[in-house]
Amino acid sequence: MEKIYSIRQLFPDLEEALYEEMEKHGDIRSFSAGTTMLRKGQVIRSTMLILDGIVKLYQEDDQGNEFFIYDIEPGQACAVSMLCAFRQESSQVMAKALTDVVVLTIPLSYMDEWLGKYKSWHYFVIRTWRARYDELLNTINAIAFKNMDERLEFYIEGQVKKLGRHIKLTHQEIASDLNTSREVVSRLMKKMEKNGWIVIHRNSFEWIRS
């Protein structure tokens, strides 16, 4: 009953029969913070619906450098896993559990079946693709049109909205997400601290700007 209640609350406006099928055919999986949930080149045979926690989607180059794309929150789905599963392709991005995460995985066969069977699932898939596309555009716009100090502020404000005012991220982790150096992030964050926006702790910081 708790499983059905959680899905109903996080993914509203679906047909009653669809909730029952999600409970019957879906598989609930848990991941500890820091776990790599999806790797580049991995063949995807199911999609992930986020029940709890935050999943970070990013790309990684041949040297292991990371580039942040966007986060996926409770009540949202992984559009990449949907698209790759439908087209039976391997992933070109990576996903990591930013916090402890609980997901509902739906096998490809049921995803295909539900598209024709349930109008609400059809609309949910479209909304998911559109939402992730909009987030990707926001990331691209930040890269193309903002200075690094503006990008850092945009990034931090996004993390605060999702994780709260106390953020457990190192300067190196932030630098990796923004594809810049740790020295640049440290300098800009010290400037933010001087302006009274944040308080820097060891391996974390607190947002105090109102």
Mean pLDDT lowest among 66-70, 77-81, 85-89: 85-89
Residue ending a domain, among 143, 158, 188, is 143
Q: What are phi and psi of 150, to 5 degrees?
A: -70, -40
Query: For residue 15, what are the domain limits?
Result: 2-143
pLDDT at 182 over 80: yes
Number of domain units in the chain: 2
- Both 65 and 29 in one domain: the answer is yes
Examine the domain organization and report whether 87 and 136 are in the same domain: yes
Q: Chain-wide mean pLDDT for the chain?
A: 88
120 pLDDT band, cuts 50/70/90, is: very high
Which pLDDT value is given to residue 1? 38
Radius of gyration over every alpha carbon of the chain, rounded to an integer in angstroms: 18
43: which strand partners?
90
Query: Do 101 and 37 share a structural domain?
Result: yes
Shared domain for 7 and 110, answered yes or no, is yes
Check whether residue 70 and residue 157 sit in a common domain.
no
Rounded Cα distance between 25 and 49, Å, is 13
* pLDDT band at 136; cut points 50, 70, 90: confident
- Whether residue 111 sits in one domain with residue 27: yes
**Statement: residue 19 has pLDDT above 70:** yes
Q: Do 26 and 72 belong to one domain? A: yes
Q: Where are the beta strands (DSSP E) in the chain?
A: 27-31, 36-38, 46-52, 55-60, 66-72, 94-97, 101-107, 166-167, 198-201, 204-207
CATH of the domain at 117: 2.60.120.10
User: Domain boundary residue among 127, 143, 159?
Assistant: 143
Does 100 have pLDDT greater than 50? yes
Same domain? For 72 and 113 the reply is yes
Q: How far apart are CA 63 and CA 24, in angstroms?
A: 42
Residue 85 sits in the same domain as residue 59: yes
Given 110, 125, 143, which residue is the final one in a domain? 143
Q: What is the pLDDT of residue 10?
A: 93
Residue-level pLDDT at 56: 92
